[in-house]
Structure 1
Amino acid sequence: MKVFRGVPQYLKRMDCAIAIGNFDGVHRGHQALLAEVVQAADLRGLIPCAVTFEPHPKEVYPHGHQVLARVNNIRDKVLDIGACGIQRVIFLNFNERLARMTPRQFAEEILVEGLHARWVTVGEDFHFGYKGLGTVEDLKALGKELGFEVWVSPTLFHGTSRISSTRLRKALLDNDLFEVNQLLGHHYHITGRVVHGQELGRTLGFPTINMDCIPVDKNGEPAVKGVYAVFVHGLAPYPLGGVATITCRPTVTEGQPKKYLLETHIFDYHQDCYGKIVRVEFLDKLRDDKKFANLEELKAAINADAQKARALVGMASSDVQLTEQYG
């Protein structure tokens, strides 16, 4: 899979099947849409591509929307899109020029001239062009004129409500991980590079790996906070159990600028892993993050968290083994 910032200028002309969307969370609705692109590309001899936007349009022009907490960081968005079989991911810079394009300009300059689209799929609520004035019907009409097919992917429901990034984001903010799992089709995860920290966990007897790749809103607030039982992928041939905290370290950083980190203590793991790419998979929430009176109280809380997480990880490991054994 190849990733491009902006329309690629140096590739040979290769006709594409394209899915367009923000793909925040890459939930089951997105996965279905991307699967349609892969299937259409295979049948027509096209390259399956996904076109998305950075920054998110609602961050640039909120138009009364609430501050948007991201579900994915960019790495996870790319990896999850690629897992659906997409071969190219194109991030369009959502700037003033792109925002002011008419629907026709977007179709002509981006889809046809830039990406050589021959088949395009979007969701039922897709809008494009200046102020989102273009509709799916406009896209179909432009496709007939400019030479690309348009398929409008039907909305996917879970229960009585549609699957959407808004619903997924709310489930994360409400700490409803069961709902999150149903919307994603898997556990929520965050992937990133291990960085050096202040080594406070080591002094408390619980060394952690630290990651600063938390998806946040424009005010620096994440959709996910607190303490979780987790699996860690990427450091061994099998998932490693642990306890993770998404925290701004309120006990030791009072008065300092707020910055959230993902700190994960991996059970019975003592190897150096700075610079490695790991994925933290969230199994269950243990509690909210909180400020403690002193480091001794913090240490006692971490110890209690670790014991609870070990039990939950053990149960999850048993479930995985039974699934692998009996399908």
Structure 2
Amino acid sequence: MSYPNWVFSMFAFIGFVISVIPLPWHLEAWNTGTCLFMIWTGLACLNQFINSIIWNGNAINWAPVWCDISSRFMIGSAVAIPCASLCINRRLYYIATANAVIITKAEKRRAIMVDLAIGVGIPVLEMVVQYIDQGHRFDIYEDIGCYFFTLNTWVAYVLVVTWPLVIGCVSAVYCVLSIRAFMKRRSQFKELLSANSNLNSNRYFRLMCLAGTEIACTVPLSCWSLYLNIHAEHIIPYDGWTVVHSDFSEVDQYPSIIWHLNPTLATALETTRWFVVMCAIIFFAYFGFADEARKNYRAAIGSVAKRVGLSTGGSFGSTLWSSTG
């Protein structure tokens, strides 16, 4: 690495914090896709942060149970973030193409259930089916930590490798259709948004930008991952469940000096762990400074100030602090 490992640890923790800061008011608004994006991204950053701390400068199998959980979660989160983006794009599309202004409670409840099926159900299913082609328990890379292992067979492409690309492409179709519908119905747009009390035009466009940015990253990275798997490694035949899991308890451990000798592997590992941090930063860039965010920051600062005996005056960012006792 051309940087100390603590740099990534710092950014991963920051990514976790800035992902969960806006979560409370988005939960109140029942923005399912946005909440799923924050939860999966925040937990992915926290997972990478813990791994980078425990395995900083070593590749010892300190916590095998944690690695089982951590590596399994990595499989799910790689699909979950594109799934959350898909949920956002679906919602924006249905808002842009709605024929009725009034949305019933039953329709809202059904929309939430569909979002949960996509944003939670698909990642959990991915965690389960990856076991079919899981050659051994997990790997440990110095400085990076636990990492799942999938044999490079045709089964892996069906069950694991291509899922983010397929979901990203479906999400991109919804995004294009949303933009097309919006351009056709601009005069009705404010009326359509009025049916969604928790969504205004600014938030709509921020959601569209967030989902579009995620698509712009997911699709190229998924194509690049496919290229690396196909050309950098030899695809082996799938010899059946018994052969694949014959030495399942094996745990491969790689010191930093070893895995850095393979530039393709090193680039893939670094890209994987930095991707979730970038997702957190991009989300906060779109929503961390929005009107509702600044409103909640002011409320939080006022609450803390009242508890410690301080009073605030003026606007957020130019506050004059004075002691009251």
Point out which structure has higher relative CO (alpha carbons under 8 A, 6+ apart): 2
- Same fold, TM exceeding 0.5? no
TM-score (norm 1): 0.21
The structure that is strand-richer by fraction is 1
